[in-house]
């Protein structure tokens, strides 16, 4: 295999672990500790991408809420699963936060065509000389991970589809 090519089912620098293929690497990179909150999310993402959501109950907290509870109980709709899959596809992990023993991990959807993350900027109004304020649509998936019985498990999953205003710089007056 040539340098820079990936093994089938692997991710760059990985050991060929199943789940991240076709150039879709883990949003956390390759050095994820097995006892971390990121590892719990990564394991779930592998199952999600492989379409193996039948036996994932042990990855979720007994006190799971919202979408996490629906997935744990096998009651999540195909629409929500599809929305979750598109939200984590080509995603990038933002810096994790810990709030009152809860680890909050946010994955931001990447736009493969633009080479960056978040959707391309769309004009949304006219301002001076046709340069109006522009918006930046983003799709983020937020995982809340807690420790339960010595294991990191997912307590909640939220999908946020937001649009952030981007203020353009005004040209300097001379």
Query: Which pLDDT score is estimated for 146?
Result: 94
The distance in angstroms from the start CA to the end CA of the chain is 59
Query: Contact, 84 vs 67, CB < 8 A?
Result: yes
pTM of this prediction?
0.66
67-75 mean pLDDT: 93
Range scoring the smallest mean pLDDT among 12-16, 52-56, 82-86, 167-171: 12-16
Sorting pLDDT into bands at 50, 70 and 90, what band is 8? Answer: very low
What does the pLDDT average to over 134-138? 64
* Helices (runs of H) and strands (runs of E) counted in the chain: 3, 7
CA atoms lying within 13 Å on the CB side of residue 90: 16
The DSSP bridge partners found for residue 93 are 107
Q: CA-CA distance, 28 to 52, in Å (whole number)?
A: 21
Q: List the single range of 18-32, 47-61, 75-89 with lowest mean pLDDT.
A: 18-32
CB atoms within 10 A of CB 114: 11
How many CB atoms sit inside 10 A of residue 72's CB?
A: 21
Query: Where along the chain do its domains lie?
Result: 37-166
Q: Does domain 37-166 have CATH number 1.20.120?
A: no
Half-sphere CA count of 131, side-chain side, radius 13 A: 8
83: number of CA atoms within 13 Å, CB side?
A: 15
Alpha carbons 36 and 8: distance in angstroms, whole number: 26
In degrees, to the nearest 5, what angle opens at C-alpha 150 toward C-alphas 98 and 66? 60
- pLDDT at residue number 156: 95
Joined tokens for residue 79: 């629409």
């Amino acid at each position: 295999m040539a340098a820079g090519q990936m093994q089938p089912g692997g991710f760059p620098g990985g050991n060929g672990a199943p789940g991240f293929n076709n150039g879709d690497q883990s949003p956390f990179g390759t050095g994820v500790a097995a006892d971390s909150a990121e590892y719990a999310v990564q394991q779930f993402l592998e199952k999600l991408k492989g379409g193996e959501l039948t036996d994932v109950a042990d990855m979720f907290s007994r006190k799971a809420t919202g979408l996490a509870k629906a997935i744990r109980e096998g009651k999540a709709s195909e629409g929500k699963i599809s929305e979750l899959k598109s939200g984590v596809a080509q995603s990038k992990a933002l810096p994790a936060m810990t709030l009152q023993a809860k680890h909050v991990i946010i994955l931001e959807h990447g736009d493969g065509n633009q080479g960056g993350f978040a959707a391309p900027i769309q004009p949304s109004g006219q301002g001076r000389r046709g340069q109006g304020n522009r918006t930046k649509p983003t799709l983020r998936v937020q995982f809340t991970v807690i420790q339960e019985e010595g294991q990191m498990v997912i307590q909640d999953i939220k999908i946020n589809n937001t649009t952030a205003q981007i203020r353009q710089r005004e040209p300097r007056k001379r």
